[in-house]
Amino acid sequence: MSIISKDIQKAVALLTEENVVAIPTETVYGLAGNIFSEKAIKSIFSTKKRPFFNPLIVHIPSIESLDGIVTHIPEKAKVLAKAFWPGAMTLVLKKHKNIPDLITAGKDTVAVRVPNHPVTLELLKQLPFPLAAPSANPFGSISPTKAKHVANYFENDIKMVLDGGACQNGIESTIIGFEGEKPIIYRLGALALEDIEVVIGKIEVKNKKEDKPDAPGMLARHYAPKTTTFLVDDVANEITKHIGKKIGVIVFEKSTNNTNITEFILSKNGSKQEAAAKLYDTMHTLDHLNLDVIIAERFAEDGLGKSINDRLQRATFSS
């Protein structure tokens, strides 16, 4: 029996009973639980096999809901929230004392965002508590952008996937923290660096930290297929290194015109937004084809290309 359902009231009931429910967002599907339930939060970590040193993101229904979550909002954080919420931006701010250390990996900050998905916004409005929701995949694996991806991972481990269709953005939120009043990008994501800088000016990127990461998504190896995968500038040249193997290829907009491979073009019209939205679904598809190797094309380092490369870099071996 499928655990996929569109029933928001069922999700409300399960979450209220301290269960974990997978929820849709515009970025990826999340594995959600009541932030004030130790049982639910521990279940998120155990279901994902996620280490406790990796903090979770708290999801709230509105900017106004921040008051009960954080103690201080820097001026630039207010500007960013007004500009991009609801949306694919997470802010790391000084936490209120009522936020459990389990969620924040013992840190005095909490990652929080207002997701831009009608189903989950309605769910959040009906709940008397916020939801912690990391991506709904086993730790380190490809993030899910469709309900069926989650069900494939956790059919026997959770009671429900709330179906909100395919995720519009397809990669995780951009995470912005603060050193004093100065904003810092901790994770590149679905909100492009250039769009942020239009609003608040130049911003530094510090998006790699293995030991006690400040935010999710900072570990070097993440978002990874089971199939050996390479990220390269020259796909055609890389193909010649794997003659005789079953090869899958991910390219941005131009075909390799090689009939001996399985090829996916992310955006024939050259849209990085479309490419980002299709990236994880394409990786899921290729990872289930029993291939010997997957070869991914590196994007130009502008706009969402920078975020897509970040995901591919953490999922692959450079060649």
251 and 194, same structural domain? no
125 and 55, same structural domain? yes
User: If pLDDT is split at 50, 70 and 90, which confidence band does 208 have?
Assistant: low
pLDDT digit string, tens, across residues 269-286:
999 999 999 999 999 999
40 and 106, same structural domain? yes
109 and 145, same structural domain? yes
Question: Does pLDDT of 212 surpass 70?
Answer: no
pLDDT digit string, tens, across residues 162-177:
999 999 999 999 999 9
What CATH number does the domain containing 264 carry? 3.40.50.11030
Residue among 183, 214, 177 at smallest CA distance from 199 = 183
* Residue 39: predicted pLDDT: 98
User: If pLDDT is split at 50, 70 and 90, which confidence band does 217 have?
Assistant: low
Mean pLDDT for all residues in the chain: 93
254 and 109, same structural domain? no
235 and 183, same structural domain? no
Of the listed ranges 7-11, 158-162, 202-206, the least confidently predicted one is: 202-206
Q: Which of 205, 220, 252 is the last residue of a domain?
A: 205
258 and 112, same structural domain? no
pLDDT digit string, tens, across residues 125-143:
999 999 999 999 998 899 9
Higher pLDDT, 219 or 119: 119
List the domain range (segments joined by +) for residue 270.
229-318
* Residue 102: predicted pLDDT: 96
What CATH number does the domain containing 167 carry? 3.90.870.10
pLDDT digit string, tens, across residues 291-306:
999 999 999 999 999 9
143 and 291, same structural domain? no
* Residue 219: predicted pLDDT: 55
| Total number of domains in the chain | 2
* Residue 315: predicted pLDDT: 85
What's the rounded mean pLDDT across residues 108-136?
97
* Residue 222: predicted pLDDT: 64
Question: Within a domain: residue 281?
Answer: yes
* Residue 216: predicted pLDDT: 57
Question: Within a domain: residue 61?
Answer: yes
132 and 190, same structural domain? yes
247 and 146, same structural domain? no
Q: Which of 173, 205, 237 is the last residue of a domain?
A: 205
Residue among 65, 73, 167 at smallest CA distance from 124 = 65
268 and 152, same structural domain? no
